[in-house]
Amino acid sequence: MKKNILKLVFTSAFALVAGYSIYASQKKVEMSDLAMANVEALASGEVIVGPWYCAGSGYCYDSYTHMLFEGTKYNF
């Protein structure tokens, strides 16, 4: 009976130390300001491509020529 309790204590201690070591070794991944700005720009629904402004409607506006055109026409 004493041996079983001793085995249980050592096994529990080993599992606790191993679990904490794994937890402590994990690093929190943080995005750079540039990456965060890209995510926010893509999530906002408006994409600025050169002089063209495309809002999620499928149409884009060229600020230099003041013309409206289909957004898919100039996608690469």
Total domain count, the chain: 1
| 76 or 65: which leads in pLDDT | 65
Q: Exposure pattern of 2-13 as b/e (b: 16+ CB <10 Å)?
A: eeeeeeeeeeee
In the three-class reduction of DSSP (H, G, I as helix; E, B as strand; rest coil), residue 56 is classed as: coil
Give me the pLDDT at residue 13, please. Answer: 95
Instruction: List, for residues 42-62, the tens digit of each pLDDT value.
Output: 776 655 556 666 666 667 777
Q: Which domain holds residue 32?
A: 2-74
